[in-house]
Amino acid sequence: MREIARVQQGYFPTQDRIVRIIAGRFKIPLNQQGQIVVLDAGCGTGHAIQNLSNQWLIQQPELNATLLGIESDKHRYEQAAALLARSKGGGTALWSAIEDATVDQPVSLLWFNPPYDRIRGTGRIETALFNRVKEWPARGSGLLLLIVPDYVLADAEVGLAVAVERDYEMLGLWRYPEPEYHDFKQCVLLARRREKALNKTLMTFPRWASESSKWPMLRDDMKPVATLTPVQKSVTLRRTRLGNDLIVDAVTRSPLRSGLLREAAAPAPPIGRPLLPLKHGHLALALAGGLCDGIIESEGNRFLIKGTLTSAVRRVSTKPQVDDSGNTVAEIDTYRTRYEMNVRCLRNDGSIENYSSAEPDELETEVTNE
Ligand SMILES: C[S@@+](CC[C@H](N)C(=O)[O-])C[C@H]1O[C@@H](n2cnc3c(N)ncnc32)[C@H](O)[C@@H]1O
C-alpha cells in the first residue's frame, strides 16, 4: 500500500519488505519439539506475522508455528481472526485492548509494533503498553521483536530502553533502511527475555540505546542472531476485563437491545400521587433520610426548609395511686419515647416558621436528636 494511503487510514502496519528482512534474523529450529508460538500484540489485520511465518516456512516447510494476535479495532480484528486461523500451524485473534488481555502460558516470540503517541501527563504509550506485555515471552528463551521510532527508544526520559534492558538481553538493534526510514524513523530491536529481571534500583540508561544515528541499518544480507525456541504448552489468549467497545457490541447484538434502548430513552416517570395515603411514619423516614432539606417553591414564593427528626421521652399519662380507704397516696406518671417531626422554614423576608408534631406543652424531659 502506498504511504499516503496508509497514513490516511491512520493504520501503519509493518511493510512487507521489512517483515521479510526481519524474518531472516531468526534461526529456525530443526526437529522441533513443541510449537513456536508467535504473538502479535496490536496485530492489525494479522498480515505481519502471517507474512513472517510464511518466510520461515519457505526455509523450513516442517515448521509448526501458531500465530496469535490481539487487536482493539474490530474490523481489523475480524480480518486477523480469519487470516490467522487459515495459517499453516493454526492461530487465533482476540478482540481486546492489550491492557485488558493476557496469556495463560509464555510464548516463543512477542511481535510488538505499538501505536506511537504520548499519554497526557504520564509519558509515552509505547512504554505503558510494553510494561503490559513484557512478561509474555518465556523466561530465558522467549524473544521480543520491537518496532518503535528510534527517537522514542533513544530518549532516556521515555523510559522504554531501561524497561527493555531490565527484562531482556539485547541481540540486535537496527534502523529501518530507506525509503521506509524516511517517514516514521522506525527501528527494530530483537532481544531475549532474561531468566531474571535486573535490579530496578541499579538500572541506568543502557549504552546500546544512546546515539541512534550510529545504529546500523537493517539489510537483506544480515545473518540470523536469535534462535526461536518452541514452547511445550499451547497458549490461550484471555481477557482480564471487558472493555466498553465489547459491552456496547454485545448489547447491540442482544435480543434485549430494543427493551434496553426503550428504557434508556424513556422520559423519567412523573411523580404521581402515592398509592397509599402518607402516614406520619413516611414523613418521619423522609426527614431522617434528609429528603426534606432544600428550597421549595409554592405560589411563586421560595422557601428554604430544613427538616429534623428527634426522639423525646414524654409523659403520656398520670394516674393516682389510692390506698384501701380510697385515699390518693401517690401519682404515677407513665413516660414513652416519642419521635417528633420538625420542619423549619426560612422565608424571603428573613422570618422563620417552625412546624412540629410535638404538643406545645410537651417540653419537659430529655430530648435527643436522631
Ligand atoms: C502499528 S499497527 C501494527 C500492526 C501489526 N502488528 C504490524 O506490525 O503490522 C498497531 C495496531 O495496534 C492496534 N492497537 C493500538 N492500540 C491498541 C491497544 N491498546 N490494544 C490493542 N490493539 C491496539 C491498532 O489498531 C493497530 O492495528
Helix axes 244-253, 257-265, angle to 10 degrees: 110
CA-closest residue to ligand 1 atom 7: 13
Q: What is the pLDDT of residues 54-76, one digit of tens each?
A: 999 999 999 999 999 999 999 99
CA-closest residue to ligand 1 atom 16: 115
Q: What is the pLDDT of residues 174-199, one digit of tens each?
A: 999 999 999 889 999 999 999 999 99
CA-closest residue to ligand 1 atom 11: 42
Q: What torsion, rounded to 10 degrees, do the Cα atoms 131, 133, 136, 137 define?
A: -80
298 and 216 in a single domain? The answer is no
The 3-state DSSP class for residue 165 equals: helix
Q: pLDDT band for position 368 (50/70/90)? A: very low
Q: Give the nearest ligand 1 atom to 47 CA.
A: 9
Identity of the highest mean pLDDT range in 28-37, 154-163, 260-269: 154-163
Residues 6+ apart with CB under 8 A from 129: 41, 42, 98, 99, 112, 114, 115
For residue 163, pLDDT over 80 is answered with yes
The residue segments making up the domain with residue 37 are: 3-249
Q: What is the pLDDT of residues 228-273, one digit of tens each?
A: 999 999 999 999 988 888 888 888 888 888 888 888 888 877 777 7
Domain boundary among 249, 269, 291: 249
Q: Is the CB of 71 under 6 A from ligand 1?
A: yes
229 and 331 in a single domain? The answer is no
Determine phi and psi for 287, rounding to 5 degrees: -65, -45
Q: How far is Cα 345 from Cα 306, in angstroms, rounded to an integer?
A: 7
The mean of the pLDDT values for the chain is 89
Q: Compare 51 and 291 and report the one with higher pLDDT.
A: 51
Q: Is the CB of 98 under 6 A from ligand 1?
A: yes
83 and 10 in a single domain? The answer is yes
Looking at the structure of the chain, the number of domains it has is 2
Do the domain assignments include residue 307?
Answer: yes
316 and 244 in a single domain? The answer is no
Q: How far is Cα 179 from Cα 104, in angstroms, rounded to an integer?
A: 39
85 and 207 in a single domain? The answer is yes
Q: Scanning the structure block, which residue is given the C-alpha cell 434496553? A: 260
Q: Model-level pTM?
A: 0.71
Q: Is the CB of 13 under 6 A from ligand 1?
A: yes
CA-closest residue to ligand 1 atom 27: 44
Q: Is the CB of 40 under 6 A from ligand 1?
A: yes
Q: How far is the CA of 243 from the centre of ligand 1 (A)?
A: 16
Phi-psi region of 185 (alpha: psi -120 to 50; beta: other; left: phi over 0): left
Do the domain assignments include residue 263?
Answer: no
Contact 334, 280 (CB under 8 A): no
Identity of the highest mean pLDDT range in 31-45, 136-150, 323-337, 350-364: 136-150
216 and 289 in a single domain? The answer is no
Whichever domain contains 191, its CATH number is 3.40.50.150
Nearest to 57 by CA among 88, 83, 16: 88
Do the domain assignments include residue 228?
Answer: yes
